[in-house]
Amino acid sequence: MKIAVFGAGAWGTALAQNAAHHLTHQVTLWARDAELIEKIRLESCNSRYLADIALSPQLHFSSENPQQLALQSDLIILATPMAALRSMLVAIGEQKAPIVWLCKGFENTPAHKQSVTPGLLGHEVFEQVHAQSSDMKYGVLSGPSFAKEVALSQPTALVAASPHKHVTDLLVQAFHNHSLRVYANPDMIGVEVGGAVKNVLAIATGLCDGLNLGLNARAALITRGLAEMTRLGVALGADRDTFMGLSGLGDLVLTATGSLSRNRQVGLLLAQGQSLEQAVNSLGHVAEGVACAHQVLQRSQHLGIEMPITKAVVAVLQGQVSAEKAVAMLMGRDPSGESN
C-alpha cells in the first residue's frame, strides 16, 4: 500500500515511522518545509520533533507538490494541527484515495463569522471544503498515543473512525501491527469530540497538579471532565458508549496524567505562574488544547450544554482569572446530581 503522511511533526513522523516497518507498505513523509525534509533525510532523524530516534531506511520523504503525491497514494494521512486542516484539504484537492486526519480539535471560528456554527469538527471542515465531491471518503485516526512511544514501537491502541467501512478497514490494514492495535468504530463524531475535549481537560488537570491539590482533586477533574465531554458529544450526535473507549476515557486518562502530555504541561506551567505565552513557547510543539479550548466552549454554548471545567480553563487561558480562582469557581458551584 502507498501511504502519504502530510505533516512532519512529532505525530506524523511517528506514525510514518511505525507504518514503514511494514515491508509491504511504501510510506512517504511530506512537509512543506523543504529544508526540514532534507535535514531529516540526511540525518535519518527528525531532530526537531523526535530527537534521538533513528528513522527507518524504508521511509521516503518529500516536499514536492502535495496534490501530486496524494494522487499517487492509496491512503492519505493529514498530520497537521487542526488550524491547518482546511488549508491542507484545499492543497491536496479532490482525491480518489481516502483522506484521514490525525488532528484533535475544533476549528477556530474567525470573529467575522461568529454568526455561523462555531468550532467545527474535522469532518465538518471536510464537508465544507469538498461539498461538491460526495464520492470522496474520509476518516480519523485517534486514541491514547504519545508520538515518541509510537515511534519506538511501544504497545499502543488506536481507534479508526469513519462513516465508510472501507476506510476503517484500510486503516486497520495500514497500521495494525505487532506494536499498534487499531480498532474500528463507525462513530466519527464521538471519536473527534473525545480527541478534542480531552486536551482541554488535560490543561485543567495540569493546573490541578501544579497547585498541588492532590490525587482526589485530579480524579474528580478527570471523572467530571469525562461527563462534560460526553454531554457535548451526545448533543452533537455521538454514541455515548464511544466515550468509555479509547478516544474518550483512554485518551483522557493518558493526556491528563502522562508526563509526555503537552497540554498537561501547559497547565502545570500556568499554575507555577508562567504566562500563557511563556508556557506555550517552552514546549516547542503545538498544544491543541490551547488552540481549541475557546472553540469547545463556544460550540457547547451554541448547543446549550454546560461545561464548567472547560469554562474555567478558558478563563485562565484568557487571563481573566488565576488558576486558584478557577478552582474556587468550580468548588463553589451549586450542588447537583452526578448525572448532570
For 94, counting Cβ atoms within 10 Å of its Cβ (0-12 exposed, 13-18 middle, 19+ buried), the class is: middle
Catalytic residue among 96, 104, 113, 198: 198
Mark whether 113 is an active-site residue: no
Dist CA 291 CA 106 (whole Å): 8
Dist CA 173 CA 168 (whole Å): 9
* C-beta of residue 80 within 8 angstroms of C-beta of residue 103: yes
Name the pairing type of β-strands 75-78 and 60-62: unpaired
Dist CA 136 CA 195 (whole Å): 23
Dist CA 196 CA 297 (whole Å): 12
Backbone torsions φ then ψ of 157, nearest 5 degrees: -125, 130
Backbone torsions φ then ψ of 39, nearest 5 degrees: -65, -40
Edge-to-edge strands, sheet with 180-185: 60-62, 26-30, 2-6, 75-78, 99-101, 138-142, 156-161, 180-185
Q: What are 84-90's contacts with CB under 8 Å, separation 24+?
A: 84/7, 85/122, 85/125, 86/125, 86/128, 86/129, 88/6, 88/7, 89/125, 89/126, 89/129, 89/130, 90/129
Give catalytic residue positions. Answer: 198
